[in-house]
Structures are given as structure tokens and as C-alpha cells.
Chains A and B, each alone.
Chain A
Amino acid sequence: MATGEKTITINMGPQHPSTHGVLRVIVELDGETVVRARPVIGYLHTGIEKTMESKLYYKALPCTDRMDYLAPMSNNLGYCLAVEKLMGIEVPEKVKWARVCLAELTRINSHLVWLGTHALDLGAMSMLLYTFRERELILDIYEACGGQRMMTSYIRIGGLAHELPGDFDVRVRKMVDTISERMKDYEGLLTNNEIFISRTKGVAVISAEDAINWSLSGPMLRGSGIARDLRKDAPYSGYENFDFKVALGKKGDAYDRYLLRLEEIRQSLRICRQAIDGMPEGPYRAHVPGVVLPPKEDVLYKMESMIFHFKIITEGFSAPVGSVYQGIESPKGELGFYITGDGTNHPRRIRVRPPSFVNLACLPKLCEGRLFSDVVCAIGSIDIVLGEVDR
């Protein structure tokens, strides 16, 4: 049908509970069928990349938490790995293991929020209450580590902000046991739920070929059956030492992506357990004078450490001229940091490759020709965070 003939255009968002933030979709409907869908973004654009470029490398870190605020540790990790790659810093083994554990906690955290909100969008109210109850355990671990529940900034360039808390392993084990047990409840509520199945099976389908052409990543790409996981394909931070499986979907619909994310939570729990069991002893920060801040204990008693502390805080360190890219597998997909150094203590360019932004671009493809109610399911199954889409 030609545009405007018998169609009606309606506006969904930017203030709408199922758009998970300030996403606006202009939808053109023929009856209940979507003829055209056009996402409008930018309501949350705060120029984070520009802000980061105006800061010292060290001080740009807290900006990364504020992009994907459901997965702060992943963002910290991506940025720190990129700067470490640019500066050629090697971190101690213990730091690698702790970072893997924290990044997987973040994945569970993000997937739990996704599960709760996605189910809520589709009418299953109680899921939200259950998943947020379990998420609390993870936020408590964050709080014990860095003192913050959401904007952690705990992973720092060259290591961690502090030593891990003494009862870290006890807390993580408790969390792993609890969530492993509760997974059965989630599955019981949704996996064979007829309403949930009819809302998600065969909805928001994307084929493997299209998924590649639209540059999708993460669960969106794996849901279509392509085994792309940076933890396996380009291991970072010691992921090659861990035993886990990459979950894959077959049909590329919303139901497959639901099963896939549940499986990812299970695999993350496995990785967390392995990380706790095998955590080596050692320092929590690399010893690289002039680039990595010395431990606070040393600053108080050692002259040299105090000088370096003062120098790094005031003038930072200078990076070589050149560009590096470091991608990590964040809960939403491939999160990449492209950092260009220009010989000064400020980055010339920090580009964030936001998985939500790139995945959201295919929303019209998922919705067009489908029912209007499927738009909600499509947005939910992409798993976006508008803080990251708009930056």
C-alpha cells in the first residue's frame, strides 16, 4: 500500500514504559499491521565521547559507567583494556581473574534486568519482582567491592581500585547458588507459558544473513545461529582459561533469544564459580611507574609512590601517536573502544562502538509487516539501554 493512502501514523514514546528509556518510534499502521517504523533517538545525547576526549586518560573512566548503566563493569573493562593496549601495560594474573568474574556478574545483572522488563512488557508482571530480588545480590557485591551499587568505576587502568573484599568468594558463591536455584522458577514461569510463547515465537525474526549485513552482535547475532563471541574469538583478560559454551539460537526469533540469554546466565554462573575457585594470589594493580597509580598504602609511606601519585593525578600520562581498538563481549553485544593517542596526555579520540545503537538500527526490519503489538516485543528482545544508544 502506498504511504498515506489508508494508513494512520502514530507516535510511540519517547515517554513510554515499553521503550526502556527515551526511545521514540514513529509507526505507520495499516489496520494493526506496521507498514513503516522509524526509530528516533538522541534524547539522551550528552556528548560523552567529547567529554572523555577533554579529560586525562585516567579521569575519563567514570564516564564509561554512565553509558550502559546496567553493565557498568563491562564498560570499565572495555575502556581499561583499550588504554592498557595503547600503553602496553600487562596486568597481574589475579586482576585478570577478578575482572572476568566481575564482567560475568555484570552479564548476569544485565540479563536479569532484561528478563524482568521483557517479561513485564509482554504481560508477565511477577518476573520483574523476582529478577530484581536476585539482582540485589549482585549489587551488594558491587557495593562491597567499590562502594557503589551502579556507577562502580571499580576496574581501573592497570588493575582494580581496591583489593577485593575479604568475603568476595563467599558472596559470589552464595549468589551463584541462589541464582542457579531460582533459574528453575524463571523457566517454570515463562519457558512453557502459552501466552509468552505466542507473543515471542516467530516474532522479530532476523535471518543469519541479514543479521551479518546489519552488523548485529551479541545475542542478536547468536540468536540467528552465528557463533560469534569475542570471549572465544578474540579472548581478552584471560578468558581462554575458562571452560564455557557459547549459546546459539536457530530461528533468530524473540523466543530463541530468550532461551539464549537464559543459557548465557547459566554459563556466566559457571565462569564465576571457576573464577572464584581458581583465583590466584597477587597484587591487585600492575606496577608501572608513571602510568598506573601506586597503591594507596604505598602513597602514605613511600616518597617515590607519592611523587608518582601526584604526577599522575595532576598531569596524567602521555600516550603514543596511534590508534587501538579493543572489543569485548558485553551483555548487549560487541562493545568496542577505539582510542587514538596523539602524543599528549589527552586522548585525541575516544570512540565507543555501542552494541545497543547498532542493534537498534535493525528495528524497522524486525517490525515491518508485523502486528503493532510485536513492536514492543521486538524492542524488548533487542535489549537496548538508551544511555548507551545516545551516549
Chain B
Amino acid sequence: MTETNDQHIVNSGTSLDIDARIRQFLIEQFGDAILKDEVFRGDRQYTVKAEKLYSICRALQDNDSLDVRWLADITCVDWLGHPEEEHGRFEVVYNLCSLSHKYRFFLMARLPGDNPRIQSVVDLWHGANWLEREVWDLFGIRFEGHPELTKILTPDELEGHPLRKDFPLTYEQPKFSWNLNEPPEIVK
């Protein structure tokens, strides 16, 4: 394996200039909300306080010169049973891009395992609607203020959130609903 010393090189199609500017902007405006700031394999990753995430996204979107307008993805990582869990079991990841600067960076927020919730960004990006519904469906993160936080991929009868690490990989299949009104029959 080639050992790359990439701690100081940001290479995801980026110019160093915009990387420094966004970093400066975040530190000036939200200095105490930034918990961790690192570059891993060329990806800039900020861990921020969950309750500040919405206002950070909003400030970034409102800033014309930074032009962070394109939300690529929202996802989540479940750290159950790993030493990382002490910072919070769930790590919600927002993948943001500035199209004009060809720059990508990540905002992460840690949420507790018990009743995880974070403010929705649907009123900033329409594209967040399905992405947040998917994270709710598969991880059970509640996005507050989402207009319609319902299941999107799994069947209605399925209880639990399949991508959590405590959800078993093989499991009795749910009954598919051709008639929703009948209560599902659990076959053990």
C-alpha cells in the first residue's frame, strides 16, 4: 500500500483558495459550533454541533461568493459498538458542493442513540426531501420540520430501521401489503 501523506492536501477537484475561504467563514461565524475539522484522504470534513447544523447550512447557502448551493447527499453512519460511539452513536453526513468553485466538503453531526433528532433542511433544499425520508426510514433519525416524514423504501409493516447495526441481517420477511387494513401476521 502506498502511504500517502495527504493530511494537508485537498484533492477532491478543489482549489485550495475556496477551501480556505469556507474554513475561515465557518470559523468566524460559527467558531464554537465546529467540533472537529479534518482532511481525510483529500475530503474536507467538519463535525459540527447538531443544533447548529441548520443555521450553518442556511448561512452557507445565503453567502453568494461561496456559492454552496448544491446538496449532493444526506446519509448516516451507525457507530454502535465502536470506540467512536462515545461521541454519539449516529453520525449524520451532509455532502455539500459549490458548483461554480468545483468544491465539495462534508458536514457531520453526531446524534445520541436514544431518540436521535435534527432539524430538517427541506426548506433550504427541495432535494433533501427524499434523502431525509430515506435516512428516517433506514436509520430512524427524526428530521424535525420535514413536511412528510414517512417510510420511503421499506414496506409499511416492517418494524425498525434496517440499516441500524442492531437490526439483524436475516430476518423474517414482512408480509407485503395488498390490503393494508388487515393487521400483519407475524410468522415466527
Contact = CB atoms under 8 A, between A and B. Distances in A.
Interface in A336-360: 336, 338, 340, 342, 348-349, 351, 353, 357-358, 360
Given A41-B153, A42-B153, A336-B72, A323 B43 contact: yes
Given A338-B93, A342-B84, A327 B153 contact: no
A41 B155 CA distance: 10
A291 B40 contact: no
B115 interface: no
A54 B40 contact: no
Interface in B109-128: 125-128
Contact of B127 (A41, A216, A321, A325): A216
A85 B71 CA distance: 22
Interface string B88-108: 000001010001001010100
Contacts of B138: 49
Contacts of A391: 153
Chain B contact residues, majority secondary structure = loop
Contacts of A204: none
Contact of A288 (B1, B73, B106): B1
Interface residues of B, number: 48
Interface in B129-147: 129-131, 134, 138
Nearest to A348: B77
Given A88-B3, A226-B99, A338 B75 contact: yes
Contacts of B106: 323, 325
A185 to B, nearest CB: 36
A348 B138 CA distance: 15
B152 interface: yes
B40 A322 contact: yes
Which of A49, A351, A391 neighbours the largest number of chain B CB atoms within 10 Å of its CB?
A: A351
Nearest to B70: A212
Given A87-B1, A338-B93, A358-B131, A213 B126 contact: yes
B10 to A, nearest CB: 11
Interface stretch (A17-25, A171-179, A228-236, A367-375): A228-236
Interface residues of A, number: 54
A56 B91 CA distance: 22
B179 interface: no
A86 interface: yes
Contacts of A214: 125-127
B73 A338 contact: yes
Interface in A77-103: 85-90
B180 interface: no
B164 to A, nearest CB: 10
B82 to A, nearest CB: 5
A50 B169 contact: yes
Given A215-B70, A215-B72, A234-B13, A324 B43 contact: yes
Interface string A187-229: 0000000000000000000000010111111000000001010
A104 interface: no
A390 B13 CA distance: 29
A49 B154 CA distance: 13
Interface of A: 41-42, 45, 47, 49-51, 53-54, 85-90, 210, 212-217, 226, 228, 230, 233-235, 288, 290-291, 321-325, 327, 334, 336, 338, 340, 342, 348-349, 351, 353, 357-358, 360-362, 365, 390-391
Given A42-B151, A288-B1, A338-B93, 4 more contacts: A233-B13, A323-B45, A351-B75, A353-B73
